[in-house]
């Protein structure tokens, strides 16, 4: 296998693979624009378990793969990397990330660069309790946190917040207002962590790191409205203290590629709550504001010259307001996608 840095050859074809593309049509569009703007040739390859995943219609080549928990998941990705001569691999959902990180050597043996942080950092950020401990260790503010059995529900100061330690997409997250409610959720939420309730607003920070862990830029997105755990309305804001803390977090994690760091404000102070080692659902807002990570990653891997603005440089007060759109498939279209199972 050649080291990935040997891919930096002007004029070569660069193929990029995204796993679990789901609804990420806007992100695929942003990458397509980056290919065009830079004059880089190549294919966008996407995988999913669902033939009706909308973004499968927005990639050049789509594949139906086994579920991430199956033994065939990584094998299918290996076959795709070899068949499509993939150079970059990005995960788009949380469950894929530890599986990819654990199988880095297998995937990179086919000449691809896995744009995923080290497995140690992935394990820390996948566990909300370990994430809280990590924030405390490096000295950035985070909400007070408890595990079941370490407190008396009758003695907590309500409201508090409960969520699964290994949850994703805001599933099974609840504001808890009373001790009776706490006892109910302790019995129903799988392996929970309880945290001090923070009133908001919530700020999602897109941190763009290169392939060696250098932070290229940070863009702050304040959430205005959320649906299904993903931002529906938001705007870019600027806060130098948050940017500084995000850089500290990313460096301590030795983060690779795009990551998202969540924080929530209370009494004009920001408290960090979660880290997702992937593109955030609202990443298109940050890209539109000037933090054009698709363009930067393609330039880095292909050897193209590109100007990356100074840290913290992006358009402030740019608003995102999303709406639903539809894609239509004939029976033949659907069967063709299903036949791409690997």
Q: What percent of the chain has pLDDT over 90?
A: 90
Domain shared by 173 and 315, yes or no: no
Both tokens of residue 285? 């807002």
Count other C-beta atoms under 10 Å from residue 56's C-beta. Answer: 24
- Is 137 a domain residue? no
**Buried residues in 231-248 as b, exposed as e (16+ CB within 10 A):** bbbbbbeebeebbebbbe
Count other C-beta atoms under 10 Å from residue 41's C-beta. Answer: 12
Q: What is the CATH number of the domain that holds 204?
A: 3.30.470.20
Last residue of a domain, one of 179, 196, 213: 196
- The average pLDDT across 236-254 equals 98
User: What region does 303 belong to: left with phi over 0, alpha with psi -120 to 50, or beta?
Assistant: left
- The average pLDDT across 260-271 equals 95
Please tell me the pTM assigned to this model: 0.93
- Is 132 a domain residue? no
| CA dist 223 → 286, 287, 326 (Å) | 12, 16, 24
Contact indicator for 306, 299 with CB cutoff of 8 Å: yes
Domain shared by 33 and 69, yes or no: yes
Contact indicator for 222, 232 with CB cutoff of 8 Å: no
Contact indicator for 320, 286 with CB cutoff of 8 Å: no
Domain shared by 269 and 186, yes or no: no
Q: How far apart are CA 16 and CA 7, in angstroms?
A: 13
Provide the domain limits for residue 151: 144-196
**pLDDT by residue (tens digit) across 56-75?**
999 999 999 999 999 999 99
> Is it the case that residue 171 has pLDDT exceeding 90?
no
User: How many independent structural domains does the chain possess?
Assistant: 2
Q: How would you classify the pairing of strands 44-48 and 16-19?
A: parallel
Domain shared by 110 and 150, yes or no: no
Q: How far apart are CA 152 and CA 33, in angstroms?
A: 54
Count other C-beta atoms under 10 Å from residue 7's C-beta. Answer: 18
Count other C-beta atoms under 10 Å from residue 339's C-beta. Answer: 9
Domain shared by 162 and 260, yes or no: no
Contact indicator for 97, 122 with CB cutoff of 8 Å: yes
- The average pLDDT across 201-220 equals 97
Q: Is 337 exposed, middle or buried (0-12, 13-18, 19+ CB in 10 A)?
A: buried
Q: Please name the residue that has the structure tokens 């033939």.
A: 51
Structure-model confidence comparison of residues 54 and 168, the more confident one: 54
Q: Please name the residue that has the structure tokens 């049509």.
A: 25
Both tokens of residue 182? 């706490």
Last residue of a domain, one of 171, 196, 221: 196
* Banded pLDDT at 6 (limits 50, 70, 90): very low
Rounded to 10 degrees, what is the CA torsion of 74, 80, 82, 86? -100
| CA dist 31 → 56, 130, 166, 214 (Å) | 14, 33, 29, 21
**pLDDT by residue (tens digit) across 186-201?**
999 999 999 999 998 9
> Is it the case that residue 2 has pLDDT exceeding 70?
no
- Is 311 a domain residue? yes
Both tokens of residue 67? 């579920």
The alpha-carbon radius of gyration of the chain (Å, integer) is: 20
Q: How far apart are CA 4 and CA 296, in angstroms?
A: 16
């Amino acid at each position: 296998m050649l080291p990935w840095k040997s891919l930096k050859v002007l004029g070569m074809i660069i193929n990029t693979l995204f796993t679990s593309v789901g609804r990420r049509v806007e992100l695929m569009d942003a990458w397509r624009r980056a290919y065009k703007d830079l004059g880089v040739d190549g294919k966008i390859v996407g995988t999913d378990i669902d033939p009706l995943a909308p973004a499968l219609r927005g990639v050049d080549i789509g594949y139906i793969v086994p579920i991430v928990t199956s033994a065939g998941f990584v094998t299918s990705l290996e076959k795709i990397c070899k068949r499509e001569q993939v150079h970059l691999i990005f995960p788009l959902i949380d469950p894929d990330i530890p599986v990819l990180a654990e199988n880095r050597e297998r995937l990179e043996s086919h000449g691809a660069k896995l744009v995923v942080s080290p497995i140690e950092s992935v394990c820390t950020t996948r566990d909300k309790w370990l994430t809280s401990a990590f924030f405390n260790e490096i000295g950035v503010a985070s909400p007070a946190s408890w595990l079941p059995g370490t407190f008396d529900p009758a003695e907590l100061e309500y409201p508090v917040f409960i969520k699964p330690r290994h949850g994703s997409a805001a599933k099974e997250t609840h504001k808890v207002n009373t001790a009776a409610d706490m006892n109910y959720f302790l019995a129903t939420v799988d392996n929970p962590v309880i945290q001090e309730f923070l009133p908001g607003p919530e700020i999602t920070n897109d941190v763009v790191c290169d392939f060696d862990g250098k932070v290229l830029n940070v863009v702050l997105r304040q959430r205005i409205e959320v649906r299904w755990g993903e931002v529906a309305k938001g705007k870019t804001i600027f806060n130098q203290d948050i940017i500084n803390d995000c850089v500290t977090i990313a460096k301590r994690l030795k983060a690779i590629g795009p990551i998202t760091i969540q924080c929530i404000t209370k009494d004009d102070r920001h408290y960090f709550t979660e880290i997702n080692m992937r593109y955030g659902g609202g990443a298109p807002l940050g890209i539109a504001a000037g933090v054009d990570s698709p363009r930067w990653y393609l330039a880095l891997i292909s050897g193209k010259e590109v100007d990356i603005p100074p840290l913290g440089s992006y358009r402030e007060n740019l608003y995102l307001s999303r709406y639903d759109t539809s894609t239509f498939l004939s029976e033949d279209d659907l069967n063709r996608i299903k036949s791409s199972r690997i």
